[in-house]
Amino acid sequence: MFKFNFISKLLNIDNFKVNIPFYCKVTIFLPKKVLPLPKVYDFITNMFNKQTYIERREELKKLVGSGVIILFGNNESPCNFPNNSYYPFRQDSSFLYYFGQKRDGLVGVIDIDNNIETLVGDDIEIEDIVWYGKVDSVHDMAEQVGVANTAPMKTLKTICNTAMAAKRKIHYLPPYRYDIKLQIFDLMGIHPNQQKEEASMNLIQAIVKMRSSKTTEEIEELERAAVIGYKMHTTAMRLTKPGVTEKFVGGQVDGVANSYGAMVSFPTIFSQHGEIMHGNPSMNILESGRLALCDAGAETINHYCSDNTRTFPVNGKFSQRQLEIYSIVESCHDLTLKLAKPGVKYWDVHFAVCKHMTDKLKELGLMKGDTEEAVAAGAHAMFLPHGLGHMMGMDVHDMENFDQINVGFDEETRPNLEQFGTNCLRMGRKLEEGFVVTDEPGIYFIPALIDEWKASGHCKEFINFDKLETYKDFGGIRIEDDVLITKDGCRFIGKDRIPYHPKDVENFMANN
């Protein structure tokens, strides 16, 4: 028996021992810097207190007013055949918000007029227990979140029939999975093509109102997600170097999320083609002189998300041309932090950033003309074809399944769906204390877009196409952080800042 005291110390494990036969050759590979193991209580928490779910449902009843609310949980989704499902299982966020349980095949029913709450679902049978282990009964799960009644799934048809016979309103959310669409068709006779239009706007508005402003316990959960997000992004920065594939770095980033939390909050974007908005990792080999863009986030065990983006040089050192563009994105990112506060429209923050970006690009000779006119014409969208940010919470694009017009806008601020770039603005409404939004400006050089605008002469009075041609091989840069709107302004989510100032990025990559 040979005791590795240095490994015990490295991993914070007492009495770490391993049997090694005397004839074995032992080779130990130690990474340049080891991620510290987390304390269990840093990440693993039970669902929120029972009273939280009781109070949420009570508030929902008040906001909706009358009728029967049906919140569908998700079912398992097959990957390539029925018993090989996507892993891990992900519950519907609104069901989680009000009923807290993560098991598949559940439906929450709230009869507002009769003040009856029911958790509907079938108990797991012995055949499933053999393969997947014992789980709590539906009755036990209901008790854990303060629901008095349970019923098997076949009862849901009776509940719907009784409500429809009495001409009572059944409130449901727009379905996004086809099995739930079929279930709604069976229960209420509404064809899948009409279900989105027939969904309850009253229920949508009530849930958006409640989920938009984050409570203290939700903010704590978002902070946990940020801790994991920090580890994901600093792992990417440590591993990035010439000769490594995008796929390798992206896979390691995903592994961090899986080991510290529930899952990634969205498919990881890691590419040296940063001009592709959703550039998933490929087998392309990272090249010296290129920039790597990493857009990744974690989802905690309790399903609250992080979403950050960093862009850094593959060889660890920015070139002068890269630094010129990067510094503009950096200043746009920091401008948002100065402007975002309660009562300010995020629409106005977005366009303030667009004007600042235009001014800076004019200094480099990439844009020209009057800044106000250029932004009004949408010329900035050549470089920034997306919005400044989106709502964040249990979904990385929080509640976007309700349609962004219902989440990111209000009666005072409406979207512009006609202008390229502006039509991708996900968040424009007036900010309120407790909102969590992303701050993610970027500058991208998209060859196909450059060619199209140049050929058509679109915005030629504001864009210097001759100089722009020389940037076709540049890629793209984005810097993104999650921001909590506070009483007087805003602050970052997460106590540790993923390096983003150029010198900090270079120093981190050099020393790690």
Which pLDDT score is estimated for 20? Answer: 34
pLDDT at 17 over 70: no
pLDDT at 26 over 60: no
Which pLDDT score is estimated for 38? Answer: 54
Find residue 484's DSSP bridge partners: 436, 491
pLDDT at 41 over 50: no
Which is more confidently placed, 323 or 134?
323
Burial class (CB in 10 A: 0-12, 13-18, 19+), 336: buried
pLDDT at 34 over 70: no
Q: What is the pLDDT of residues 444-479, one digit of tens each?
A: 999 999 999 999 999 999 999 999 999 999 999 999
pLDDT band at 234 (very low <50, low <70, confident <90, very high): very high
Query: What are the distances in angstroms from CA 148 to CA 169, 379, 383, 384, 459?
Result: 22, 58, 55, 51, 62
Check whether the bond before 152 is cis (ω within 30° of 0). no
Q: What is the pLDDT of residues 253-273, one digit of tens each?
A: 999 999 999 999 999 999 999
Q: What is the pLDDT of residues 88-102, one digit of tens each?
A: 999 999 999 999 999
Distance CA 297, CA 421 (A): 24
pLDDT at 126 over 80: yes
Check: CB of residue 439 under 8 Å from CB of residue 389.
yes
Which pLDDT score is estimated for 62? Answer: 98
Which is more confidently placed, 196 or 28?
196
pLDDT at 374 over 90: yes
Mean pLDDT computed over 271-298: 97
pLDDT at 45 over 80: no
SS (H, E, C) 390-411: CECCCCCCCCHHHCHHHHCCCC
pLDDT at 282 over 70: yes
pLDDT band at 86 (very low <50, low <70, confident <90, very high): confident
pLDDT band at 37 (very low <50, low <70, confident <90, very high): low
Q: Which amino acid is at 248?
A: F
Sorted by where each begins, the domain ranges of the chain are: 50-212, 216-511
Which pLDDT score is estimated for 47? Answer: 83
Distance CA 315, CA 241 (A): 6
Which pLDDT score is estimated for 44? Answer: 53
How many Cβ atoms are within 10 Å of 250's Cβ, its own excluded? 24
pLDDT at 335 over 90: yes
Give 430-445 as a DSSP string: BP-TT-EEEE--EEE-
Helices (H), 240-282: 246-260
- Token readout for 402 is 């309700």
pLDDT at 16 over 50: no
Tell me the Ramachandran region of residue 232: left when phi exceeds 0, alpha when psi lies from -120 to 50, beta otherwise.
Answer: alpha
Query: What are the distances in angstroms from CA 73 to CA 98, 106, 179, 457, 510?
Result: 11, 5, 11, 50, 47
Which pLDDT score is estimated for 465? Answer: 98
Domain 50-212 identical in fold to domain 216-511: no
Which pLDDT score is estimated for 133? Answer: 87
Task: Please report, to the nearest 10 degrees, the dihedral formed by the alpha carbons of residues 230, 232, 237, 242 taken in order.
Answer: -170
Which pLDDT score is estimated for 46? Answer: 63
Which range among 17-31, 196-210, 229-243 shows the weakest confidence by mean pLDDT? 17-31
CA nearest to 112, candidates 213, 204, 203: 203
pLDDT at 42 over 60: no
Q: How far is CA 8 from the centre of its chain?
A: 36
Can you name the CATH fold of 216-511? Answer: Creatine Amidinohydrolase (3.90.230)
Q: For the full predicted model, state whether its pTM sits above 0.85.
A: yes
pLDDT at 238 over 70: yes
Which pLDDT score is estimated for 9? Answer: 35
pLDDT band at 227 (very low <50, low <70, confident <90, very high): very high
Which pLDDT score is estimated for 500? Answer: 98
Check: CB of residue 147 under 8 Å from CB of residue 117.
yes
Mean pLDDT computed over 319-341: 98
Give 6-59 as a DSSP string: HHHHHHT-TT-EE---TT--------SSPPPPPPHHHH--PSPPHHHHHHHHHH
Rg (CA), the chain: 25
pLDDT > 70 in the chain, percent: 91
Mean of the per-residue pLDDT values of the chain: 92
Which pLDDT score is estimated for 503? Answer: 98
Report the number of secondary-structure helices (H) and strands (E) in the chain: 19, 19
Helices (H), 107-215: 126-132, 138-144, 155-165, 178-188, 192-198, 201-212
Mean pLDDT computed over 58-84: 95
pLDDT at 15 over 80: no
Domain range 50-212, its CATH number among 3.40.350.10, 3.20.140.10, 3.30.420.40, 3.30.360.10: 3.40.350.10
Q: Identify each DSSP E strand in 242-377 by its residue range.
A: 263-264, 269-271, 291-296, 298-299, 308-313
pLDDT at 166 over 90: yes
pLDDT > 90 in the chain, percent: 87
pLDDT band at 386 (very low <50, low <70, confident <90, very high): very high
Q: What is the pLDDT of residues 392-451, one digit of tens each?
A: 999 999 999 999 999 999 999 999 999 999 999 999 999 999 999 999 999 999 999 999
